[in-house]
A = this chain, B = another copy of it.
Amino acid sequence: MKALSQVGKYGLRAILYLVAYPSENSYMSIRQISDELNLSFHFVTKIFRELTAKGILISYRGPSGGVALARPADQIMLIDVVKALEGEDYFDKCLIGLPNCGTAKPCPVHEFWKEMKTKIQQNFTETSLATLGEKIRSQEFRLDD
């Protein structure tokens, strides 16, 4: 079940690295992140530009520049990042993608699928980047191979 595009996967991993290993009062370079996670520097840069444009990251150019969270990690929810990376309609799309889809006369899997989507949406809404970063720092979870 491929729930995220490459942009979504890389973007999440990259921002989680940023969250997990924050440099006090300063910016972290994209180069460091992409090197650590073995991701394409240019691709991560492009993804991060989008997150910056959407107000999730801030960036600073020049030496000792880089990126940083625009808000404290406990105020950025997983759903914010996922929607920024995959589109605001991420939770609107549905299993068999009927035209004019809705609850009025739904497809035969609607009931179950809607329930799943709601659960996932709720979890993503409740989960902050701070929570995930903490998990990574605890050493019991990882972001790369």
Contact = CB atoms under 8 A, between A and B. Distances in A.
A108 B143 CA distance: 8
A144 interface: yes
Nearest to A134: B108
What is the copy number of this chain in the assembly?
2
Interface residues of A, number: 40
A132 interface: yes
Interface in A89-112: 90-91, 93, 95-100, 105-110, 112
A61 interface: no
A54 interface: no
A93 B100 CA distance: 30
Given A9-B97, A105-B140, A3 B1 contact: yes
Nearest to A4: B95
B1 A145 contact: no
A33 to B, nearest CB: 14
Interface stretch (A22-30, A40-48, A114-122): A114-122
A96 B1 contact: no
Interface of A: 1-4, 9, 12-13, 16, 78, 90-91, 93, 95-100, 105-110, 112, 116-117, 119-120, 123, 127, 132, 135-136, 140-145
The 3 closest A-B pairs by CB, nearest first: A99-B145, A108-B135, A108-B132
